[in-house]
Amino acid sequence: MKSFLFILLGFVCCLGAFSGKAQPAIPTVDIQSDSVNQALDTTQFQILEDRQGMLRIEQVVNNPAFHHDSYFNRNRRSHVYWIRLQLRNTLDHPLSLYLCHFSGSYFDLYWQNRPGRWQHQRTGPLVPISQIPPHEGNRENNRILVTMAAGQTYVFYQRLENPFWQPPLVYLSPQIQSLFNRKDTLFAYYRAERGWVDIFVDGIMLGILMLAIAYNVFLFLSIRDRTYLYFGIALFFFTLDRNTYRIQAFLFEEYPYSFRLAANFFFIAFFLFFLQSLRRFTGSLLNRTRNNRLITYLLAFTAFVNLIFFFSFGMPGVPADEILLLEEILVRVILLLWALTVWKHRHQRAVDARLALIATTPLLTLWVYTLITRILGQYANITIPQSLRIMIDYLESFCFAWLIILFSGALINRYNQARQLVARQALEREQLEKEREMERNRIIASQNERLEQQVKERTAQLEASLTELKATQAQLIQAEKMASLGELTAGIAHEIQNPLNFVNNFAEVSVELIDDLKLDLQDGHYDGVLSVSDDLAQILAKIQQHGQRAAAIVSGMLDHSRTQPGAKTEVNINELVSESLKQAYHDIRTKDSHFRARLVTNTDRSLPRLTLVAQDISRTLVNLFTNAFYAMHEKAATVGPMAGYEPQIRISTEAVDQWLFIRIRDNGTGIDSKIIGKVFQPFFTTKPTGHGTGMGLSLSYDIITKGHGGQLSVISEPGNFTEFTIQLPLDDGKR
C-alpha cells in the first residue's frame, strides 16, 4: 500500500513538472549515523525567494522557481526565503533529528508525516519563548526537532524571515544535528570545554557593570555633576549592547521582538552619552573652541544616520552598507576630533586631559584600524583572516575594559577632589558662621541689656496702669451698681408710695376714730367703744402690714447698693425670681406707663431652698429682666402698635441632674450673631450712649460663674427672641 502511494505521489509530481517549467530534482541526503552533525552542501538544498513574504506552503510545494545557490550571495534582497531539502533515515530505528538554521529571525518548518497532512513548527530568536515547541523542558530558538521513521524519506520546507529592520538573508546554510549529538555537544561544552566558566565570567562582568552604573548614579545624586549621570547611562547602554542575548533570555523571553528592535539603538546611545561624559569631563578645554560646536552637529547627524540605517533594509535602492559605513566613519571622526582638541589644550588642565586621552587612545586606534579593514574589504575585496578577526574582537573587549576602568578611576578621583573642595568650603563656611555667631551674640547681649532696662521701665508703667485700671474698674462696678440702684429707686419710690399712702390714710382715720372713741366714753356709749376699738385694731394692722412692705423694699434697696458681697443664706429661688421680676417690671412701667408685657412663669414648686448670696442673685435677675423689658420696649416702639406685636417674657425654673436651671426668654429685638460672643465682656453694650455702662452682664456673669460656681449662657435669633440660662449647682459644696 505504501509503495502504491509513493508511486502515485511521484506520478503527480511528474505531471506537475511537465505541466510547466520543469522542477530541478531534489537531492536526497542519507543519514547513516546517530551522531550526525553537518552543514548541508549547496547541492543538497534548494532556495526559493519570497519577495512579498506572502507565499503559503501549498504554493511553495510545486513552485518551479526553486534553485541551487551558494551559501553567501550579496545580491539577495529579500527578507523571506524558502529552503527545500530531502532527508532519508537509512538507520534501522527511528531517529530524533534537529533541523537547524542560524540566519533568520523566524524559522518555520513544514513536512509531511504521511501524504496530505502537513506538520508545522516555528522557532526563532524573535519568537516568544512560550510559543517555541519544548523537548524535555528545553526550547531551542534555532533548532526544530523532528522524528524520522526508519528507512523513510522526508521532504522538508524551511521558511526563513527577517523583519524589515534587519538585513536581507544573504547567507543561507541549513544544518542537521541528531538529538544524541546535541546532548553530547552540550555536555562537552559545559564540562569538558568548561563553557560554564565563560558564562560565569560573563555573569561577573555583567554584575561589575551594573555596580558601576549604580555607583555613577549615586555619585551624580551626591554632587549633582552630570558627568557621572552621562557615564552611568553610557555604561547602561554598553551593557545592553554587549549582553543582548543573555539579557533577552533572562528578562525579555516573551518580548524578543521589542527588545531586539530597541537593540538597534543601544550602541549609538552608548556612544552619544559616553562622548557627552567626555565633553563634560574636559568641558573647560572644549567650551572655548569651535570644535565643540562641530562635535555637537556631528553627534546629531550621526544619530540621524543611525535612524536612516534602521529603515534602510526596508527601502529598496537605499545602500544600507554605505550608510552603515558612514555611521562608523562619523563615530571615529567625532572621537578623533575630541581627542585632537583635548591634546591641543592638554596643558590647561593636565590631569583630566591626560587621563581622558590615555583611556580612549587604545579604543580609538583599534577603531581606526577596523575602519580601514572594512573599507578595504567592502571596496577592494581584501579580507583579513578569521583568526585575526577573533583577535580583534578580544582586543576590542580589552580596549573597552581599559576605557571603562581608567575613566571610572578618573571620575572617582574627580569625585574625591570635589569632596575635598566641598569639605574645605564647608570648613570655611563653618568658621565664617562661627565668627558671625560671635558677632550676633555680642549684638544680642548688648540689645538684651537695653531691652531689660526698657522692660523694667515698661513693667513699672504697666503696673501703674494696672493699678489705675483696677481702681477704675472698681469705680465702674460701683457706678453700675449705683446706676442700677438709681433705676430701681425710681421704681421702688412708686412702690413705697402706695404703702405710705395707706399708712397716712389709715392714720387720719385712726385719729378720727380715737376722737369718736373719746366722745363715746364721755357719753357712756360702751357699745360704740367696742365697735370703734375693733375698727381701730384692723386699721392699725393694715398700717403695720404696709409699713413692713415699705421696710422690705428699703432693705432690698440697701442690699443692692452694698459694695461687698453679702453672706449666703437659704433662699426660696422661686420667690426671689418673682420679686426680681416685679421690681424690673415696675421700673420699666415707671419710665413708660403705657408699656405692657405678658409675664409667663413656669416654676418648679418642688425646688429645695438654696444657699445663695440673695442680693447678688437678685441683682443678676433684675439685670436680666431689665434687659429683656428694654429689648421688648425697643421692638414695640419700632414695629408700632398696629403690627400686632405683644411683648412677652417667659420665666421657668427646674432641677435637672443636681443643677438648677433658670431660663429667661423674651420676644424682643434679639442679639446679632456677630456680637453675641461679646455680651459678657466688660464695657460692651448694645444700648445707646447714656443708657448703659456695659458692666451689667459682665458683673452678672462673674456673680454666677465665680461667686456661685454656675454658668450663664445666652442664645438668640435676631428679631425674634433672646434666652438667658442661669445654671446653679444644687449641691452647696459646689457653690
Q: Give yes or no: residues 677 and 575 share one domain.
A: yes
DSSP assigned state of 158: E
User: How far from the centroid of its chain's Cα atoms is residue 108's Cα?
Assistant: 51
375 assigned to some structural domain: yes
CATH of the domain at 164: 2.60.40.2380
Question: What separation in angstroms does the CA of 447 have from each of 437, 438, 454, 455, 462?
Answer: 15, 14, 10, 12, 21
Q: Is residue 491 part of a domain?
A: yes
**Is the pLDDT reported for residue 690 higher than 60?**
no
pLDDT category at 478 given cuts 50, 70, 90 is low
Q: Average pLDDT, stretch 430-452? A: 87
Cα 84 to the center of its chain, rounded Å: 62
Domain tally for the chain? 4
Boundary (domain end) residue, out of 373, 398, 421: 421
Instruction: Indicate whether 4 belongs to any domain.
Output: no
Q: Are residues 226 and 143 in the same domain?
A: no
The CATH number given to whatever domain includes residue 336 is: 1.20.1070
Q: What is the predicted pLDDT for the residue at 479?
A: 64
Which amino acid does the sequence have at 705? Answer: T
pLDDT of residue 7: 34
Based on the domain organization, do 273 and 414 belong to the same domain?
yes
Q: Which of 125, 119, 132 is nearest to 158 (CA)?
A: 119
DSSP assignments along 600-655, one per residue: EEE--TTPPPEEE-HHHHHHHHHHHHHHHHHHHHHHHHHH-GGG----EEEEEEEE
Which of 137, 161, 192 corresponds to the end of one domain? 192
Same domain? 374 vs 446: no
User: Which pLDDT tens digit goes with each residue over 251-286?
Assistant: 888 999 999 999 889 989 999 998 888 888 776 666
214 lies in the same domain as 257: yes
Do 255 and 399 share a structural domain?
yes
**Range 113-119, long-range pairs (CB < 8 A, 24+ positions):** 115/5, 115/9, 118/57, 119/146
Q: In this structure, are 40 and 94 located in the same domain?
A: yes
Could you tell me if residue 19 is inside a domain? no
Reported as a single tens digit per residue, the pLDDT across 82-117 is 999 999 999 999 999 999 998 889 999 999 877 778
Which pLDDT band holds residue 198 (cuts at 50, 70, 90)? Answer: low
Averaged pLDDT for residues 322-331: 87
CB 124 within 8 A of CB 105: yes
Q: Is residue 96 part of a domain?
A: yes
Q: Are residues 155 and 113 in the same domain?
A: yes
Indicate whether 572 and 498 sit together in one domain: no
Domain assignment of residue 18, yes or no: no
Q: Which of 558, 586, 607 is the last residue of a domain?
A: 558
User: The domain that contains 629 carries what CATH number?
Assistant: 3.30.565.10
Distance CA 363, CA 403 (A): 7
Mean pLDDT, the chain, rounded, equals 81
Residues 290 and 404 reside in one and the same domain: yes
Q: Are residues 326 and 442 in the same domain?
A: no
pLDDT tens digits for range 349-384:
557 677 778 888 888 888 888 888 888 877 777 777
What are the cell numbers at 614?
Answer: 440673695
Q: Based on the domain organization, do 431 and 417 belong to the same domain? A: no
Amino acid sitting at position 578: S
* 16, part of any domain: no
Distance CA 407, CA 230 (A): 13
H-run or E-run covering 544: helix 526-560
Query: What is the 8-class DSSP label of residue 167?
Result: -
- Three cell numbers written together for 258: 521589542
Which domain covers residue 709, as residue numbers?
568-734
Where residue 392 falls among pLDDT bands split at 50, 70, 90? confident
**Which residues contact residue 114 at a Cβ distance below 8 angstroms, ignoring those fewer than 6 apart?**
none
Helix%, strand%, coil% for the chain, nearest 5: 60, 15, 25
Long-range contacts of residues 3-9, Cβ cutoff 8 Å, at least 24 apart: 5/115, 9/115
Q: Which three cell numbers stand for residue 693?
A: 455702662
